[in-house]
Chain A
Amino acid sequence: MLHPIRGGIYQQNNSIMKEQNLNKSILQFLENLELIGITFIRGYIQFLFDGSVLNTYTLPLIKIENKIIASTDFGYYDTLCSLISNKIISAYEDEKEEKITIKFEYDIELFVSLKSEDRNCAEAVMLQFETEGKWNVW
């Protein structure tokens, strides 16, 4: 991974390695944030958290009361809207399962697949924190 051809290249690769490690844990910064709104826009969904934004281009599955609801199921969008004002309990990436899990209060979970075959475009998820301004891409 490290190519000491030039100082700059070495540093950049080293930086990317650090960034890749960060990408797993950056989801943890969603914890305790309250979902304040949802934008349904042209085939994808924006989850809004008082300045921070989570865009899901692969539409999440919802797990509620041991049922899984997909975007094609009746009530999907109403169920998503019912999450507004709820706080996130935990958020993490499962590399083995290739998915992001976001757990809300009242035992409701969202799963976003990161699998290539489930994607609607090159990106599956993007996350921007108010404090940073930059986008984190999965």
Chain B
Amino acid sequence: MANCCQNEQNLVAYRNWGIGVEAIATKGVGSTPSFIVSKGGTVFPIPKGATGPVSATSGKGFQFIEGVGGNGLSPKATGFRFMDPVTTGKYQYPGGYGSYFNKAGQTINPLTGQTIAPSNSWWHIPAK
């Protein structure tokens, strides 16, 4: 974790934003991270040049918006959302989950950029 996080203050700030987020990679103060890592080690790349983290207004997660691909993502990936653990109901994600979307606000497979249905396993990428 120490290797990827050059700014401890930023790391603490990100931890406070998201339950389950253990580490981030930054290039300096104020820059967008290249990825975030859940407590269990799930890595989520962040679209290049994205702004964030900004809250999901429901208070259930955070997101990075207005980026463009990079970091192994399809160029169609413009945003990433990380949601807090869901532990009740039909669809449970006890470690939280990540989801990528395109410019049109449609959820996509982050590798291919193809739009997907909610039942697709790429829609909710579980965090460990």
Contact = CB atoms under 8 A, between A and B. Distances in A.
B71 interface: no
A96 to B, nearest CB: 18
A119 B91 contact: yes
B12 interface: yes
Interface in A93-138: 116-117, 119-123, 126, 128, 133-138
A67 interface: no
Contacts of A42: 115-118
Interface residues of B, number: 37
A111 B97 CA distance: 27
A135 B83 contact: no
Nearest to A9: B16
Contacts of A53: 104-105
Given A8-B13, A135-B105, A121 B56 contact: no
Contact of A135 (B12, B63, B118, B119): B63
B88 interface: yes
Interface string B57-91: 11111010110000000000001010100101111
Counting contact residues on chain A (CB < 8 A from B), the size range is 35 or more
Given A42-B116, A116-B89, A121-B119, A23 B57 contact: yes
Given A122-B91, A135-B81, A16 B66 contact: no
Given A9-B16, A42-B116, A128 B90 contact: no
A16 B58 CA distance: 8
Interface of B: 12-13, 16-17, 51, 54-61, 63, 65-66, 79, 81, 83, 86, 88-91, 93, 97, 101, 104-106, 115-119, 123-124
Interface of A: 8-9, 11-12, 15-17, 19-20, 22-23, 26, 39, 41-44, 46, 53, 55, 57, 116-117, 119-123, 126, 128, 133-138
14 contacts: A12-B17, A15-B55, A16-B55, A20-B59, A22-B57, A23-B57, A23-B58, A39-B104, A41-B106, A55-B105, A119-B90, A120-B118, A136-B56, A137-B81
